[in-house]
Structure 1
Amino acid sequence: MILRINRSTDKSSNYKTTFSHLRKLCFIVLLVVLTGLVAMAGKPINYYVDPVKGNDITYDGTSAAKAFRTIEKARDVVRTMHANMKGDIHVYLRGGTYWLKSTLLFDTTDSGTGGFNIIYAAYKNEKPVISGGKEITGWNLYDTTKNIYRAYTGKGLETRQLFVNGVRATRARSTVAPSPLTFVKAFGYTAKADVFANSSIPMQQWKNQSDIEFVFKNEWTAPRIGVGTITRNDSITTISMKQPGWGFVTNKGGTSVGGNHNAKGLPWFIENAYELLDEEGEWYLDRTTGFIYYKPRTGENLAAASVVVPVLEELVRIQGADAGNKVSNIQFRGLTFSHATYLRVNGNRGLPDAQNNVIRDDQGESIINAAVNLTYARAIKFERVVFEHLGGNALNMYSGSQDNLVVGCVFTDISGNGIQIGDYKGMFTAGTENYILNADSLVWLRNNDVYNSYFNKIGVEYFSSTAIAATLPVDMDIVHNEIGNIPYSGIHIGWGWDRFATSVSQRTNIQYNYIHDVMSVLRDGGAIYTLGPTNGSATNKGRISNNYIQNVNNQFGALYADEGSSWFDLTDNVINNTPRYAHIWISTIHDININNNYTTTLNNVNKGINTSMTNATLVSNGNWPSAAQKIMNNAGLEKDYLNIKPASGK
């Protein structure tokens, strides 16, 4: 548009005329801009889903009164309009449980476009639960003496968990190891007598012997493997374990069953037999008959209780086509992901964990399944989402996951890891996406951040699990989280030991976290644990600072830089109640600076190259200096996110 101004010899008149025209011009330009913004933003597009009153056939989903019934229907409708987005698209989920029959899939046709997002959010303050579970009803008293109830589930049910009124039940288990046993690496165990475990019935007379599972505690791992058969021939009892899993758990390095840290090869306890069902809160599934058995806790009324078993292993999968064609710009707000299981351990391959719950077998090293999985995914956001009652990991991010954000989320009652960033398969094989030196930045695990989230009761079944783990993170921030009640390490960063001098991993920042009550079951880990090389330098470091660490039940280090770790500054942390505040135990560790920390012990180990531990302030009787108090007060959840923490701390 051209503005024409009439010239005048009268300066005052000229000024007034010019000002008037300029004012009109500004108004016109503003109107054009606002019109453009409205056109760009478009009319808000909202869809609604109601698991109780919704209808996928007759309703169009455009209002709460005409909501769809399933998330899949809403997703499919949104797919038809994602290519030309003029604003964010909201899919509001009403409260209630969305019982999934199969994994909910999102691919590139579900991406937000034009810089906008597709947002799946809780409707107002309601609680939508996305569940992979099945409700169990029809309970009847089965054993009046032992107060054991049972319900028929139908044959073919496979699960490893049961939840009663939102509380995890315990698979029937022993309080002691079977006895007597002699370890035989080739196949299992022998005994020159009957073998007993928490039952007056010898184990060779137990039913469903192939359901029995042996659980071990081997330093920093807790492998599991099932029984094949138990026989008694004359005076000899023979327990043959499942193959090939027995071979995996007995040949996985120093923590092998029968290895350096378990020379006698004996289990810690055993589980999953009806004969072990003797404590309140225990359960057992007889897959041969289709009956599930449960001994209620005091006050539980099974006629009115909500009893759920998870049957799906994966609730949500978000997967792009490849590293150059990623699914992107999808957000989840205020949702709950619940009731997923993990079935590998039920079979013949067992759980041969290396550490950080990493599987080590004839397929190499890999991670266990998660309820929610991302691959080739970018700009995916989880905000105030609850991950609970899950039988594997909660959230996995695989190759090509970049610019994803977890903020204000809760992770609780998880069998495995809370968050696992990156897989381990092929890390030492050139040409694989996970290769430790892969130069293709599109497959890097870059800028996946975790802020203001709450982790509690992680690794409740697989004890070598951690709250947050990452293989080869690049530009990852782990900031202002609370992590507590963990059987192994709180945060586990890196892999590779000293096999490579460098890796693609760099600039991991772990700051302002409150980490407490970790290493409660296993040994040789830390509140914050690093492993393997980085691509760092004197001007390119990771930072571990301003964390408050409390109650680390571990003779190693609250701050633990393990083999190959490099280029980290660990400064201005508070360490309260741990046997050793820092641990650098071998010369493959280099260029680590541990400085200006406050601790209740000066016990440390420092055998690295160019590694320093300086200015540690010893504190006793709770007399923390003001600088330490400031770190303690600022660590953990920030004010706006304190309300995500359950009032009971569960």
Structure 2
Amino acid sequence: MRRNTFTHLGAAGVNLETGSQGSQVVGNRFEDISSTGIQVGGTMKVDHHPDDPRQIVKNNTVSNNRVARVAVEHADTVGIFIGYTTHTTVAHNEVFDLPYTGISVGWGWGLFDAGGNSTYPGNLGLPVYDTPTTSRDNQIRDNRIFDVMKTLRDGGGIYALSAQPGTQISGNYIDRVHDGFGGLYPDEGSAYQEWTDNVVQDVPAWLHIWTPSIHDLVVADNYTNEPFMRNNGTNITMKNNTVVQNGEWPARACRIAANSGLEPDYADLLSPSDAAPELCPSGA
């Protein structure tokens, strides 16, 4: 689906449910929606451990969409939600003015990963699987996310849950997380992901890894003007992350920010009042 407007809706704008494969959500406007703007994949057993491979949500693309002022009535929903999916690409979207998280990927707090999450208080009575979920090889890249977490707290610019082998969160520009726990927030059970080449500005913490159940992540080559962060995870590789002083952003950070958000062919989706932030107005 391309070049549509989704507005004044009482539920999600677009929902790609169980078995959705090879779909494209490209170049649309989402605004004034009660719940999530775009949802790909669900959170039930049929999603994380399907009996039939045709039920897997895979090979879907969400790109160059403008998602603004959604979650109007259900403030705990998000701009773009990715549940249990394989090879979902979320790229070059503009996500802003939200009460809660901008982009969320993964689900389950590690409870349905192979071996489960024995430290999570909600695990009693749940089945323990010996096989991984369908969450893997997702790409969350080159998105521009700003003015989020305006109402609620336990969220961030980009939020993740559970093991997602091969998943990469890269090239995103996050600006003005008003409350919340972090610009980059891998939560319970997040594992086997790479968080690289992101630019994070004006946030409570640029990174929030708060518990040992978060493990085997690579966090590298990110840029921020906020020195505060948490890393209480297990086997977290941290390297070449830069804290910028006095607004002197390196040229590479400027390029990442300039490349984020809508690509030129979709710039007309932005309204004059959207005020997308520029990290380096001089074009450094």
TM-score, normalised by the number of residues in structure 2: 0.87
Structure 1 position 473 matched with structure 2 position 85: yes
Alignment of 1:246-265 (within 5 A): none
Structure 1 position 457 matched with structure 2 position 69: yes
Structure 1 position 523 matched with structure 2 position 135: no
Tell whether the 8 Å contact from 2:149 to 2:180 is kept in structure 1 after alignment: no
How far 1:407 moved relative to its partner? 0.7
How far 1:397 moved relative to its partner? 1.5
Matched with 2:2 is: 383
Structure 1 position 483 matched with structure 2 position 95: yes
Normalized per residue, the structure richer in helix is 1
Structure 1 position 628 matched with structure 2 position 253: yes
For 1:629, what is the secondary structure of its paired residue? helix
Structure 1 position 594 matched with structure 2 position 224: no
Select the residue among 560, 570, 593 that pairs with 2:195: 570
How far 1:417 moved relative to its partner? 0.3
Query: Could you tell me how far apart the structure 2 residues matched to 1:587 and 1:488 are?
Result: 25
Structure 1 position 505 matched with structure 2 position 135: yes
How far 1:606 moved relative to its partner? 1.1
For 1:455, what is the secondary structure of its paired residue? strand
Query: Could you tell me how far apart the structure 1 residues matched to 2:197 and 2:154 are?
Result: 23
Amino acid of the residue matched to residue 475 of structure 1? Answer: H
For 1:547-594, what per-residue CA distance to the aligned partner results, in whole angstroms no more than 9, with x for missing partners? 110001234111111111111111111100001011111111111111
Query: Could you tell me how far apart the structure 1 residues matched to 2:168 and 2:15 are?
Result: 24
For 2:6, what is the secondary structure of its paired residue? strand
Amino acid of the residue matched to residue 641 of structure 1? Answer: Y
How far 1:439 moved relative to its partner? 5.2
Structure 1 position 552 matched with structure 2 position 182: no
For 1:544, what is the secondary structure of its paired residue? strand
Distance 1:439 1:593, change over 3 A: farther
Alignment of 1:381-420 (within 5 A): 382-420=1-39
Structure 1 portions without partners, runs of 5+: 1-381, 428-432
Query: Could you tell me how far apart the structure 1 residues matched to 2:42 and 2:195 are?
Result: 26
For 1:558, what is the secondary structure of its paired residue? strand
For 1:442, what is the secondary structure of its paired residue? helix
How far 1:622 moved relative to its partner? 2.1
Tell whether the 8 Å contact from 1:602 to 1:616 is kept in structure 2 after alignment: no
Query: Could you tell me how far apart the structure 1 residues matched to 2:246 and 2:3 are?
Result: 38
Tell whether the 8 Å contact from 1:606 to 1:613 is kept in structure 2 after alignment: no
Amino acid of the residue matched to residue 417 of structure 1? Answer: T
- Give identity over the alignment, percent: 40
Distance 1:394 1:555, change over 3 A: closer
How far 1:420 moved relative to its partner? 1.3
Tell whether the 8 Å contact from 2:59 to 2:86 is kept in structure 1 after alignment: yes
For 2:216, what is the secondary structure of its paired residue? strand
Select the residue among 60, 63, 78 that pairs with 1:448: 60
Tell whether the 8 Å contact from 2:85 to 2:135 is kept in structure 1 after alignment: yes
For 1:516-550, what per-residue CA distance to the aligned partner results, in whole angstroms no more than 9, with x for missing partners? 0111100111111001223x2xxxx1111111100
Matched with 1:423 is: 42
For 1:306-353, what per-residue CA distance to the aligned partner results, in whole angstroms no more than 9, with x for missing partners? xxxxxxxxxxxxxxxxxxxxxxxxxxxxxxxxxxxxxxxxxxxxxxxx
Matched with 2:210 is: 585
Tell whether the 8 Å contact from 1:496 to 1:533 is kept in structure 2 after alignment: no
Matched with 1:612 is: 237
Tell whether the 8 Å contact from 1:545 to 1:573 is kept in structure 2 after alignment: yes
Tell whether the 8 Å contact from 1:544 to 1:570 is kept in structure 2 after alignment: yes
Report 1 or 2 for greater relative contact order, CA contacts < 8 Å, sequence distance ≥ 6: 2
Tell whether the 8 Å contact from 2:109 to 2:187 is kept in structure 1 after alignment: yes
Tell whether the 8 Å contact from 2:93 to 2:144 is kept in structure 1 after alignment: yes
Query: Could you tell me how far apart the structure 2 residues matched to 1:585 and 1:602 are?
Result: 16
Amino acid of the residue matched to residue 387 of structure 1? Answer: F
How far 1:605 moved relative to its partner? 1.1
For 1:387, what is the secondary structure of its paired residue? strand
Query: Could you tell me how far apart the structure 2 residues matched to 1:438 and 1:590 are?
Result: 25
Query: Could you tell me how far apart the structure 2 residues matched to 1:413 and 1:509 are?
Result: 26
Amino acid of the residue matched to residue 12 of structure 2? Answer: N
Query: Could you tell me how far apart the structure 1 residues matched to 2:144 and 2:85 are?
Result: 21
How far 1:630 moved relative to its partner? 0.5
TM-score, normalised by the number of residues in structure 1: 0.39
For 1:379-402, what per-residue CA distance to the aligned partner results, in whole angstroms no more than 9, with x for missing partners? xxx111110111221111111111
For 1:277-302, what per-residue CA distance to the aligned partner results, in whole angstroms no more than 9, with x for missing partners? xxxxxxxxxxxxxxxxxxxxxxxxxx
Query: Could you tell me how far apart the structure 2 residues matched to 1:406 and 1:471 are?
Result: 16
Equivalenced residues, count = 257
Structure 2 portions without partners, runs of 5+: 115-131, 276-284
For 2:156, what is the secondary structure of its paired residue? coil
Matched with 1:268 is: none
For 2:179, what is the secondary structure of its paired residue? coil
Alignment of 1:30-109 (within 5 A): none
Tell whether the 8 Å contact from 1:606 to 1:612 is kept in structure 2 after alignment: no
Amino acid of the residue matched to residue 393 of structure 1? Answer: A
Amino acid of the residue matched to residue 384 of structure 1? Answer: R
Tell whether the 8 Å contact from 1:574 to 1:599 is kept in structure 2 after alignment: yes
Query: Could you tell me how far apart the structure 2 residues matched to 1:585 and 1:629 are?
Result: 29
Amino acid of the residue matched to residue 561 of structure 1? Answer: P
Query: Could you tell me how far apart the structure 2 residues matched to 1:587 and 1:468 are?
Result: 27
Amino acid of the residue matched to residue 99 of structure 2? Answer: P
Tell whether the 8 Å contact from 2:155 to 2:180 is kept in structure 1 after alignment: no
Alignment of 1:77-476 (within 5 A): 382-424=1-43, 426-427=44-45, 433-434=46-47, 436-438=48-50, 440-476=52-88
Amino acid of the residue matched to residue 30 of structure 2? Answer: F
Superposed CA RMSD in Å reads 1.4
For 2:104, what is the secondary structure of its paired residue? strand
- Rg: which structure is higher? 1
